Each structure stands twice: as C-alpha cells, then as structure tokens.
C-alpha cells in the first residue's frame, strides 16, 4: 500500500463520521445564534462559527487543525439564516472532505461561503421576511382585532416554518454538496471552483461596500451670477458613480494591508475624518 493511501486511511479513521443529525443540530445552533455577537467586522461569523464547533471537533481531533478551521470561519459572513441553510450543509461537506485529506484549501471554503451568501440572502429575504412574515403577522393581527386568542399564538407559525425549512435545506445542502465535491475532486476542477467562488465573493463584497458606504461632498463653486454653479459631486458622479465611497473602501483596504489590522484605530480614523469633513463642509 502506498504511503499516501495509508495516510488517507489513518486520517479518515481519526474523525467521527458526520450524520444528518449533526448537520441539523449545527444549523439549528446557527439559527439560534446567528444574530448574536454581531459586529460590523464579522456580522454573523461568530454565530456561524459557534454552530460549526461540534462538527469541527469531530473532524479535527488535532488542536492545530481545529484552530485553523475556527479561524477561517471567523471571517465576515452574513446571509439569511433560513434559506441560507444550504451553505451550512455545503460547508460541512467541504470540511469533511478536507479532513479526509482531499485537496480543498481553506480559502476555497471561505470563497464558497462568500459567493453563496448574497444570492441566498436575497432569496430568503424575499420569501421569508417579505412574504411569509407579513402574511402570518397580518393573520395574527386580524384574529387579535376580533378578540380571538389564537391571534397571540399564530405568530409562532413563523419560527416553526423557518425551522422546518432550515433543517431540510441544511441536509439537502450537505448531501448535494458532498456528491458535487466528490465529482469535482475526481474531475480535477476544484481549483476552478475555488477561483470562481472567490471571484464571486469579491463581487458580493464590492456590492455590499457600494450599498453600505455612503460618502458625498456638498462643495460647489459659482463663477458668476448668470452661470450655473459648479457642483463637485455631480462632476465626480459623471466620471465614476460612487467614486468617493470607492476611494474610502480602497483607503481602508490599503490601511489594513500596509499599516495594521486594528479595527478600533480604523473606526477612530473614520469618525475623525467624518467630523472634520462635517465641520469644514467638505463632506
């Protein structure tokens, strides 16, 4: 028997197999803790990592491997918890294959999460919060207005439906992901998958930046009473829409890359620049 085959057998025997129950339990933990410990730096990453701890303990008995797995899941993550459940299953499947010695890199798992979280969040927000919630809450309000005691309990339908959907989607993601990953590994396309997922993740982070970062300037000049004022923001928008927010994002990225990754300092710098800009009328 070759050395690599022997190592694979030892590695595979060193961790406990993942079951459907494990996948469902992991997602349920995420459902409970997704909105806890939220920060602008990580958003749902702490809740996701908490849900993955029992899985990772099974897969990585070695403390170093376990610590590395925790670190890669502490990176920024945010999606809709219910319809984003397939991500949980796919990630568990990828971690399981990685623990068995398959050539899956940590950034491939991170890229997969980042690439899927935006599209699934859009689906979940549209179905879960924009459709199911108004219907159920409207029904509860109607029953309560007529004095029906069921109006107080009808609201429990929303979490009940969410839990049923999430439990099933997480298992579906795990089983589909497990089969897909095996096919990809056999075809040698895992590097293409990692590159594609990482690229999609970059697009999603860019979309998030353009959505949440808002910077504009009120500066304008007048060159005579009969001429239209020169509005700097309009000129910037005509060159590249969102140029100032882009400059801010790139500036923060440069700081993280070249200076340090102390987010407290970055926040203080942003507040200082915002205050100076507001006082001087530049921003």
Contact assessment for residue 87 and residue 113, using Cβ atoms and an 8 Å cutoff:
yes
Categorize the per-residue pLDDT at 26 as very low, low, confident or very high, splitting at 50, 70 and 90.
very high
Whole-number Cα distances in Å, 171 to 19, 81, 104, 180, 272: 9, 14, 21, 14, 47
Residues 61, 165, single domain; the answer is yes
Give the lowest-confidence range in 19-23, 229-233, 248-252: 229-233
pLDDT for position 6: 47
- Percent residues over pLDDT 70 in the chain: 79
Residues 197, 153, single domain; the answer is yes
What is the 3-state composition of the chain as percent helix, strand, coil, each rounded to the nearest 5? 75, 0, 25
pLDDT for position 1: 46
Q: Would you say the C-alpha torsion 168, 173, 179, 182 has a positive or negative sign?
A: negative
pLDDT for position 202: 64
Entry pTM: 0.64
With a cut of 90, say whether residue 51 has pLDDT above it: yes
Residues 72, 116, single domain; the answer is yes
Task: Give how many domains the chain has, as a whole number.
Answer: 2
Q: Cα–Cα distance between 153 and 271 in angstroms, integer?
A: 45
Residues 184, 71, single domain; the answer is yes
Write out the H or E segment, with its range, that includes residue 110.
Answer: helix 106-124
Residues 82, 59, single domain; the answer is yes
pLDDT for position 13: 46
In the block, residue with structure tokens 């309000």: 141
With a cut of 50, say whether residue 270 has pLDDT above it: yes
Overall average pLDDT of the 188-217 stretch: 65
Categorize the per-residue pLDDT at 136 as very low, low, confident or very high, splitting at 50, 70 and 90.
confident
Residues 202, 262, single domain; the answer is no
Give the lowest-confidence range in 67-76, 109-118, 183-192: 183-192
Give the lowest-confidence range in 29-38, 42-51, 57-66, 113-122: 113-122
Residues 33, 167, single domain; the answer is yes
- Pick the more confident residue, 207 or 134: 134
Residue 200 burial by CB count (10 A; 0-12/13-18/19+): exposed, middle or buried? Answer: middle
- Percent residues over pLDDT 90 in the chain: 27
Give the lowest-confidence range in 72-76, 155-159, 252-256: 252-256
Q: Cα–Cα distance between 198 and 112 in angstroms, integer?
A: 7
Give the lowest-confidence range in 75-89, 184-198, 255-269: 184-198
Residues 133, 21, single domain; the answer is yes
Among 159, 188, 206, residue at a domain's last position: 206
Categorize the per-residue pLDDT at 273 as very low, low, confident or very high, splitting at 50, 70 and 90.
confident
- Pick the more confident residue, 3 or 95: 95
Among 162, 189, 206, residue at a domain's last position: 206
pLDDT for position 265: 80
Give the lowest-confidence range in 87-91, 185-189, 246-250, 274-278: 185-189
Residues 48, 121, single domain; the answer is yes
Q: Cα–Cα distance between 98 and 116 in angstroms, integer?
A: 19
Among 183, 206, 229, residue at a domain's last position: 206
Categorize the per-residue pLDDT at 221 as very low, low, confident or very high, splitting at 50, 70 and 90.
confident
Domain span at residue 120 reads 3-206
Mean pLDDT of the chain: 80
SS (H, E, C) 9-74: HHHHHCCCCCCHHHHHHHHHHHHHHCCCCCCCCCECHHHHHHHHHHHHHHHCCCHHHHHHHHHHHC
The C-alpha angle 171, 174, 176, rounded to 5 degrees, equals 105
pLDDT for position 210: 66
Residues 104, 62, single domain; the answer is yes
Residues 128, 167, single domain; the answer is yes
pLDDT for position 56: 94
pLDDT for position 122: 80
Q: Cα–Cα distance between 8 and 146 in angstroms, integer?
A: 66
- At 148, list the tokens: 């029906």
- Pick the more confident residue, 3 or 45: 45
Residues 195, 222, single domain; the answer is no
């Amino acid at each position: 028997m070759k050395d690599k085959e022997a190592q694979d057998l030892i590695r595979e025997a060193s961790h406990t197999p993942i079951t459907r129950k494990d996948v469902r339990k992991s997602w349920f933990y995420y459902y409970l803790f997704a909105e806890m410990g939220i920060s602008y730096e990580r958003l749902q990453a702490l809740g996701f990592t908490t849900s993955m701890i029992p899985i990772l303990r099974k897969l990585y008995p070695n403390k170093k491997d376990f610590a590395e797995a925790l670190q890669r899941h502490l990176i920024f993550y945010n999606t809709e918890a219910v319809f984003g459940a397939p991500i949980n299953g796919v990630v568990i499947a990828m971690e399981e294959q990685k623990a068995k010695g398959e050539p899956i890199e940590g950034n491939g798992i991170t890229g997969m999460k980042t690439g899927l979280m935006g599209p699934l969040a859009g689906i979940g927000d549209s179905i879960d919060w924009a459709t199911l919630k108004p219907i159920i809450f409207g029904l509860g309000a109607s029953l309560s207005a007529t004095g029906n005691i069921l109006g107080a309990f009808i609201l429990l339908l929303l979490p009940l439906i969410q839990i049923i959907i999430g439990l099933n989607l997480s298992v579906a993601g795990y089983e589909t992901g497990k089969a897909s990953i095996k096919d990809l590994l056999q075809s040698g396309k895992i590097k293409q998958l990692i590159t594609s997922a990482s690229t999609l993740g970059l697009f999603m982070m860019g979309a998030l930046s353009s959505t949440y970062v808002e910077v504009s300037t009120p500066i304008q000049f007048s060159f005579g009473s009969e001429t239209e004022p020169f509005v700097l923001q309009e000129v910037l928008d005509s060159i590249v829409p969102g140029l100032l927010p882009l400059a801010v994002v790139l500036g923060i990225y440069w700081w993280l890359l070249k200076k340090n990754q102390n987010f407290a300092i970055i926040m203080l710098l942003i507040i200082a620049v915002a205050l100076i800009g507001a006082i001087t009328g530049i921003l």
